[in-house]
Structure 1
Amino acid sequence: MAVVGLGQLGGSLAAALAAAGRPVSGWDVDPDARDAAAARGVRITRELSGVVVLAVPLPVMATALDGLAIDPDATVTDLGSVKVPVLASVGTTLGRRFVGGHPMCGTERSGHGATDPALFTGARWALCLEADTELPRWLRVAEVALAVGAEVVPVTAAEHDDAVATISHVPHLLAAALAAAAAEAGPLALALAAGSFRDGTRVAGSDPGFVTAMVEGNAGPSAAALGRVRHQLARPWPELVAAGHAVASGRPGRRTVRVPLDRAALLALGRAGGAVHRRLAAFVEGWVPEQS
């Protein structure tokens, strides 16, 4: 295992693997991030092998491996919040050695000071399974995600970007809009702000550069998702409140399933809203939501 970029996500991944007793190497352009990772048991080196994880901002993803020595047989993955552009850049360069990924975790904080070895516990980890993805490499990356307590959701890059536009990228835009609107309302409104405002604006504290790169990198799906939100806001308010409450309060159960190591079967699991939580010999074990 090797991690390039030792900020919140990369540093947390490296720390979690090291804490589990797994050998892990890493590199970061920031010497403070390197020192912090080394103190957690990460071997700092420019020579990387095994599964190499790119945990760097989207604008520098394509050049993250420049100046580093990567084993020719290494499998490379990433933690980027947008997948189609990364597949078009890094994926084109690395070919079938690349498996795109995105763990659905993190906070509004950033940098190595936000490292948390428990960050991935219980998180969904989207892992791209394209038509030309080599299944053994996909499984190697999946096993890394499972090793740090995440559950793996098989997706294609395009499916991922459509989905996260609604549940991640638009919420960042809405949080920014709510915070800006509250500021326009004046100091009294901000003084009275409590739990609902805090929860609705938490991610507005994220690095603006990170958020801008994310939404602009997924502009088409994000615009479509924002259009759906505008449509909902145009509904009669009692109807809108009831519809939202029904979705938020509905908690379907889970049904355990075993899925063969087959691309179509794995993608069907992800499309059904399920996830993988264990690797077996010729199968993976996971769950899907129970139909009501």
Structure 2
Amino acid sequence: MHVAVIGLGLIGGSLLRALRAAGHRVTGYDADPATRELAGAAGSIADAAAGAELVVLAVPLPVLPGVLAELAAFDGLVTDVTSVKDPVRELTIKSGLRRYVGGHPMAGKETSGFAAADPALFAGCAWVLCLEPGETALDDWLTLAALFTTLGARVVPVTAAEHDRAVAQISHVPHLFAAALARQLDGNPLAGALAAGSFRDGTRVAATRAELIVAMCAGNATAVHSVLRNLIDDLKAMDEALANDALTPLVELGGSLRRAWPARGGEPVEMPVSVDGLLALGRDGGWVTAVAENRVSVTTMRPETGRNGS
């Protein structure tokens, strides 16, 4: 498959390298001349996309309108890796993009840029592919599911709105919480000297570039506000429970949920392809591991239950 990757930071660069390693023809583009030279990329978006069957947009949300404008004449399939999906979906509708499937690989690390790109980054990761009833072409969705599962990803079918709520809970708000926790070091050298494993693990993503954290949270502001308020309410409840010697049940619940995560997949199950069936799979926390060559079925897995208190 001929794939063009627009934006060669950590995710885009890793995808370019993973696709090349898998034998696909890949072209790339990045706005930074040094990155283009390092990656052997094309000199423009148009040059990168010329002749491509698929274009992957791996640029920040604020840059997307300009990139989409340059792809106005492109009639192939387009996906993206942006960490918020509903705003991107709205942009693609406004731009008149003909074929679009929203995507988001749940993979990354605290380092960034093409130099940090890793072709094995997506092995075992959950890769969201949005499936909007009455809107997303199922054949296009299956094309991407087949491609990304060959990279080792677990493809999770959801709607854009469902994705945005979930990532606010497990990615966007945790970045803010990590930043707040890391600020305990401000003017506090003693705390810095004593900090060890729990502080390191709880603040790891606070090392992400601030503009990236702010961009992803601002792009998903409605869901982030709601989830952040819920987290603040939980912390207030813990504060009150501490004063009333009633903290144990709240901590026990968190511990039980954490020990049961990540859920192991059950037995592989072949499932006929349908929009409703795929969305039900995603809502149950399940995923697609392979697409049949005839595209009438997919291999799926659902999480086991009853493990470690779950």
Q: Which AA in structure 1 matches 2:259?
A: S
Distance 1:66 1:6 in 2: 19
SS of residue paired to 2:56: strand
Given candidates 172, 175, 182, the residue that maps to 1:172 is 175
> Quick one: which of 210, 232, 245 aligns to 2:234?
232
Which residue matches 1:254?
Answer: 265
Q: Does 1:270 align with 2:272?
A: no
- 1:289 pairs with 2:303: yes
Q: Name the residue aligned to 2:66.
A: 63
- CA, structure 1 residues 253+56, in 2 after alignment: closer, same or farther (shift >3 Å)? closer
Per-residue deviation, 1:228: 2.0
Could you tell me how far 1:118 is from its partner in structure 2?
0.6
Shift of 1:68: 5.7
Given candidates 83, 87, 100, the residue that maps to 2:89 is 87
Residue 209 of structure 1, CA deviation: 1.0
Evaluate the alpha carbon distance shift between residue 68 and residue 32 of structure 1 in structure 2; reply closer, same or farther with a 3 A threshold: farther
Query: SS where residue 227 of structure 1 aligns?
Result: helix
Q: Which runs of 5+ in 2 are unaligned?
A: 242-246
Q: Which residue of 1 aligns with 2:10?
A: 8
Number of aligned residue pairs:
287
Secondary structure of the equivalent of 2:186? helix
RMSD: 1.8
Could you give the per-residue CA deviations for residues 237-265 of structure 1, whole angstroms, max 9, x where no partner exists?
32222111100112544322222221100
Aligned counterpart, 1:105: 107
- The answer for unaligned runs of 5 or more in structure 1 is none
> What's the counterpart of residue 54 of structure 1?
57
Shift of 1:43: 6.6
Distance 1:69 1:36, change over 3 A: farther
Per-residue deviation at 1:223? 1.5
Q: Secondary structure at the match of 1:126?
A: strand
Task: Tell me which amino acid in the other structure corresponds to 1:46.
Answer: A
Does residue 1:243 correspond to 2:283, yes or no?
Answer: no
Per-residue Cα deviation, 1:90-109 (whole angstroms, up to 9, x for no partner)? 24324451111000001121
Q: 1:128 to 1:85 in 2, by over 3 A?
A: same
- Normalised to the residue count of structure 2, the TM-score between the two structures is 0.87
C-alpha contact 1:17 1:147 (8 A) present in aligned 2: no
Q: Percent identity, aligned pairs only?
A: 48
Q: Per-residue displacement from partner, 1:68-119 (whole Å, max 9, x unpaired)? A: 68642x1000000000111111243244511110000011211111111111
**Secondary structure, counterpart of 2:25 in structure 1:** coil
